[in-house]
Amino acid sequence: MDNILQVRDLAVDFTTDIGITKALNGVSFDVPRGQVTAIVGESGSGKSVTANCVMRLIQPPGRIVSGSIQFSPSQGSPFDIVSLADKDPRLHELRGGLISMVFQEPMTALSPVYTIGNQVAEAILCHRDVGKAVAWQEATEMLIRVGIEDIERRMFMYPFEFSGGMRQRVVIAMALVCNPEVLICDEPTTALDVTIQAEVLTLIRDLQHELGNSVLFITHDLGVVAQLADYVVVMYQGRVLEIGTVRQVLKTPMHPYTQGLLQAIPGLARAGERLATIESVVGDADITTPYPLVKLADGRQVSLPPQSTPGGQESE
């Protein structure tokens, strides 16, 4: 398969006063070109750390200790993001150019003291050799595309004058304005109301279809995964437990942890009854030992004890 990103054996340590925390412990997965890959997991699973590794945003006390992230842009030769030197010009080209990122909290991703127009145009001026007028024009077009109305006036407004959903649209415009090959979204709708979330998800989905870029989507919300993703990577305690297509993972989850995650969601089917907890679903199954990911016949990968990893035995 044609993968734009290949993450292999990625390990990240955070050194603290009480010792070393292994935030990532041998993470491997692929991001297929032109598809949406979701990393799903709970707090502390390492999903955001993984995203930050791709952008090389890990800062002390964190450190990438081993592994590689092979990036294969559509033009030029593939290279390993992890082994780039801090001053390598390719890193600048990468961040916000070839790969860009939408963060959870739009207010912290935008500067309060610059106008919307300024901030989106700046992204263009940083990465391309064009004049201010061209940058302004393209920024305007991108903001219209993400659904900002009354644009002539809005270009000159400040982030505090925008609602949360509008701000996130601006951040998405900023991320897409250089036409990145990979768009990383780190919980982009978590801070939003469910109605606004639906609008932003629809926008991301439509733009992805239109522009055809590859998306790496980080979320804890399995509903968001179901609606947006083609492929799903399930993470837990710095490891990958299961990889598959969205239908494989959500409809017939193989790993007990994934099954628990799905069953713990409150829904009408179980109204009035006790909710399943991950503990109750997982039971005696061992989810903490780092078994290697095994590739099964149908293409999915799962990390289970060898005796319970036959080719496609489904426990649901």
Q: Which of 86, 268, 283, 316 binds another protein (CB under 8 A)?
A: 268
Q: Which residues pair with 233 in a beta bridge?
A: 39, 243
Q: Does 88 bind another protein (CB under 8 A)?
A: no
Are the beta carbons of 192 and 103 closer than 8 angstroms?
no
Q: Does 277 bind another protein (CB under 8 A)?
A: yes
Q: Does 18 bind another protein (CB under 8 A)?
A: no
Are the beta carbons of 27 and 9 closer than 8 angstroms?
yes
Secondary structure percentages of the chain, helix, strand, coil, to 5? 35, 25, 40
- Segment interacting with another protein, rule: CB under 8 A, options 7-15, 115-123, 220-228, 294-302: 220-228
Chain mean position to CA 140: 26
Binding mask 147-166 for another protein (x = CB under 8 A): -----------------x--
- Segment interacting with another protein, rule: CB under 8 A, options 59-67, 123-131, 172-180, 254-262: 254-262
185 burial class (0-12, 13-18, 19+ CB within 10 angstroms)? buried
Distance, in Å, from the CA atom of 194 to the CA atom of 179, rounded to the nearest integer, reads 28
Q: Does 172 bind another protein (CB under 8 A)?
A: no
Q: Does 271 bind another protein (CB under 8 A)?
A: yes
Q: Which of 197, 214, 237, 259 binds another protein (CB under 8 A)?
A: 197
Q: Does 224 bind another protein (CB under 8 A)?
A: yes
Tally the C-alpha atoms within 13 A of residue 222's C-alpha that lie toward its C-beta.
20
Distance, in Å, from the CA atom of 253 to the CA atom of 255, rounded to the nearest integer, reads 6
Minimum CB distance to another protein, residue 308 (Å):
21
Binding region for another protein (CB under 8 A): 42-43, 164, 193-199, 201-202, 220-227, 246-247, 250-251, 260-262, 264-268, 270-271, 274-279
